[in-house]
Amino acid sequence: MPVWQVLAALGELASQGLLIPHVVASLARVAGGYLLAAALAIPLGITMGWFPGAFRALNPVIQLLRPISPIAWIPLAILWFGVGDLSPVFLIFLSSVFPMVVNTTTGVHTIERHFIRAAQNFGVSGFKLFRLVIFPAALPHIIVGMRISLGVAWLVLVAAEMIALHSGLGFLIMDSRNAGNRYDLVVAGMVLIGMIGLLLDGRVRRLERLNQLRWRYGR
């Protein structure tokens, strides 16, 4: 499809006042599911990484659920939450939570023990040990998990918004396909998803430049 035709489709959406609402709706759903996943996954991953009993109890459940495609949950999402915003948020939550849990757990498991012993020798223990040693040491892995989760969240956006009401880039793609085979709008929606995903990934990558993380990266 010619580039000019895709650009014309984007201009059509903008002139009709549809571009911004669709983008905002998708961002809101992804942000809701992604932030909920982070709020659960990071504490859970730290707990699993630090307490062997928690790891033995929860890891089999995580590994059982992790390979299931979020798309397979669509019928249950509709059954539990109906046709609306909650179902896409739930699917995006599912797609985001497991990479963060796994990477956070790995980050805690790979902490060099002399860091922990040194802190304990100075009387650092309990929550202070988590705040000053364990979380900062695991943070590079946590950031990687956040990047992976964000990419997967955008990957399932189209499928998640198939059950949305009347908004979102995924809905735009499906509606354009079903209403007159407007493939220029389909490709325009795909381009928007790719561009926004690239921008969001760049924002998350900026976290790697924090002084607290530079020791873990070569550059």
Task: Locate the domains of the chain by residue range.
Answer: 3-216
DSSP 175-211: HHHHTT--HHHHHHHHHHHHHHHHHHHHHHHGGGGST
- What does the radius of gyration of the chain's CA atoms come to, in whole angstroms? 21
Give the list of residues 6+ apart from residue 70 with CB closer than 8 angstroms, or none. 91, 92, 94, 95, 156, 159, 160
pLDDT in tens, 189-211: 888 888 888 888 888 877 767 66
Q: Find the length of the chain.
A: 219
Q: Is the dihedral of CA 14, 16, 21, 23 positive or negative?
A: negative
Three-state SS annotation for 106-169 = HHHHCCCHHHHHHHHHCCCCHHHHHHHHHHHHHHHHHHHHHHHHHHHHHHCHHHHHHHCCCCCH
Label residue 212 by pLDDT band (50, 70, 90): low
| CA atoms of 30 and 151, how far apart (whole Å) | 11
Residue type, 32: G
97 token code pair? 């939570």
More confident residue, 6 or 214: 6
Percent of the chain with pLDDT over 90: 30
For residue 2, the model assigns a pLDDT of 67
| CA atoms of 34 and 27, how far apart (whole Å) | 10
Residue whose pair of structure tokens reads 């979020």 in the numeric block: 70
More confident residue, 161 or 219: 161
CATH topology of domain 3-216: MetI-like fold (1.10.3720)
pLDDT in tens, 20-72: 888 898 899 999 999 999 999 999 999 999 899 999 999 999 999 999 988 88
For residue 180, the model assigns a pLDDT of 67
What is the DSSP code (8-state) at residue 1? -
pLDDT above 90 (res 170) = no
What is the DSSP code (8-state) at residue 73? G
